[in-house]
Amino acid sequence: MKYRTIGTDPKTRREVSVVSLGTMHFGTATDEATSFAILDRYVQAGGTFIDTADNYAFWTGAQGGESEELLGRWRRSRGAGDEIVIATKLGARPLAPGTSFTDNAEGLSAKVIRESSQRSRDRLGMPRLDLLYAHIDDPKVPLRETAEAFAALVAEGTVGLLGVSNHWAWQVERARSLAAAAGLPGYEVLEYQHSYLRPRTDLPGSRSPDGMPGMVSGDVLSYLRAEPQLTMVAYSPLLRGGYVRPDKLDAAEFAEFDHPGTPVRLAALREVARDAGATVNQVVLAWLIGAEVPIIPLIGASSVTQLDESLAAADLDLTAEQRTRPGDHAGGRPHDSAMPDWRKPGPRGWHRDRPARLVPGARRQSDPPPWEPSRSTSTSCISAGTPGGYRQGLAVVRRGRRRPGRWCSRRAVSPGRGRDRVRGRAADRLPGGWRWLRCC
Contact 325, 338 (CB under 8 A): no
Residue 420 lies in a domain: yes
Contact 28, 43 (CB under 8 A): no
The residues with which 163 forms a beta bridge, in sequence order, are 133, 189
Q: What is the pLDDT of residue 306?
A: 96
Q: What is the pLDDT of residue 67?
A: 96
On the CB side of 106, CA atoms within 13 Å amount to 27
Residue 330 lies in a domain: no
- 31 and 115 share one domain: yes
Residue 143 lies in a domain: yes
Cis peptide before 234 (omega within 30 of 0): no
Residue 439: pLDDT band with limits 50, 70, 90: very low
**Cβ partners under 8 Å of residue 296, min gap 6:** 4, 16, 18, 19, 20, 49, 231, 232, 233, 234, 288, 289
Contact 291, 332 (CB under 8 A): no
Residue 414: pLDDT band with limits 50, 70, 90: very low
- 297 and 371 share one domain: no
The mean pLDDT of the chain is: 79
- 376 and 272 share one domain: no
Q: What is the pLDDT of residue 387?
A: 36
Residue 337 lies in a domain: no
**Boundary (domain end) residue, out of 298, 324, 350:** 324
pLDDT at 39 over 50: yes
**Cβ partners under 8 Å of residue 201, min gap 6:** 211, 215, 217, 256
State how far the Cα of 67 lies from the Cα of 156, in Å rounded to an integer.
Answer: 25
- 318 and 392 share one domain: no
CB burial of 278-314 (b: ≥16 within 10 Å; e: otherwise) equals bbbbbbbbbbbbbbebebbbbbbbbeeebbebbbbbb
Q: What is the pLDDT of residue 381?
A: 37
Instruction: Note the pLDDT tens digit of each residue in 332-367.
Output: 333 343 444 444 444 434 333 433 332 333 333 444
Instruction: Note the pLDDT tens digit of each residue in 68-109.
Output: 999 999 999 999 999 999 999 999 999 888 888 888 899 999
Contact 104, 63 (CB under 8 A): no
Q: What is the pLDDT of residue 391?
A: 33
Q: CA–CA distance from 58 to each of 29, 99, 101, 129, 371 (Å)?
A: 12, 8, 9, 21, 40
- 302 and 400 share one domain: no
State how far the Cα of 147 lies from the Cα of 109, in Å rounded to an integer.
Answer: 10
Four-point Cα dihedral 174, 194, 233, 54, nearest 10: 80
- 407 and 304 share one domain: no
- 309 and 360 share one domain: no
**Boundary (domain end) residue, out of 324, 351, 379:** 324
State how far the Cα of 263 lies from the Cα of 283, in Å rounded to an integer.
Answer: 16
Q: What is the pLDDT of residue 14?
A: 97
Q: What is the pLDDT of residue 197?
A: 92
pLDDT at 398 over 90: no
State how far the Cα of 142 lies from the Cα of 110, in Å rounded to an integer.
Answer: 10
Domain extent for 129? 3-324
Total domains, the chain: 2
- 157 and 253 share one domain: yes
State how far the Cα of 163 lies from the Cα of 16, in Å rounded to an integer.
Answer: 15
State how far the Cα of 239 lies from the Cα of 285, in Å rounded to an integer.
Answer: 11
Judge if pTM exceeds 0.85: no
Residue 218 lies in a domain: yes
Task: Report the CATH number that the domain containing residue 268 is assigned in CATH.
Answer: 3.20.20.100
Q: What is the pLDDT of residue 66?
A: 95
Q: What is the pLDDT of residue 208?
A: 78
Q: Residue 14 phi/psi, 5° resolution?
A: -135, 150
Rg (CA), the chain: 25
- 7 and 77 share one domain: yes
DSSP state, residue 189: E
Mean pLDDT across 145-171 = 97
Contact 196, 289 (CB under 8 A): no
- 310 and 398 share one domain: no
Residue 333 lies in a domain: no
pLDDT at 386 over 80: no
Q: CA–CA distance from 76 to each of 26, 50, 81, 225, 374 (Å)?
A: 16, 15, 9, 39, 59
- 370 and 320 share one domain: no
Residues in the chain: 440
Residue 247 lies in a domain: yes
Residue 378 lies in a domain: yes
Q: What is the pLDDT of residue 341?
A: 45
pLDDT at 287 over 60: yes
Tell the burial category of 93 from Cβ atoms under 10 Å away from its Cβ (0-12, 13-18, 19+): buried
The residues with which 375 forms a beta bridge, in sequence order, are 382
Instruction: Report the phi/psi class of residue 166: left, alpha or beta, with left for phi > 0 and alpha for psi in -120 to 50.
Output: left
Instruction: Note the pLDDT tens digit of each residue in 192-246.
Output: 999 999 988 888 877 778 878 888 988 999 999 999 999 999 999 999 899 998 7
Mean pLDDT across 287-307 = 95
Instruction: Note the pLDDT tens digit of each residue in 231-275.
Output: 999 999 999 899 998 788 877 778 888 888 889 999 999 999 999
State how far the Cα of 350 lies from the Cα of 316, in Å rounded to an integer.
Answer: 38
Q: Residue 62 phi/psi, 5° resolution?
A: -105, -155
Residue 368: pLDDT band with limits 50, 70, 90: very low
User: Cα–chain-centroid distance for residue 399?
Assistant: 48
Residue 290: pLDDT band with limits 50, 70, 90: very high
Q: Report the 10 Å Cβ neighbour count for 110.
A: 14
Q: What is the pLDDT of residue 258?
A: 85
The closest alpha carbon to 160, from 85, 228, 233, 106, belongs to 85
- 293 and 207 share one domain: yes
Mean pLDDT across 158-179 = 97
**Boundary (domain end) residue, out of 267, 290, 324:** 324
Q: CA–CA distance from 180 to each of 147, 165, 223, 348 (Å)?
A: 10, 19, 17, 41
Contact 211, 201 (CB under 8 A): yes
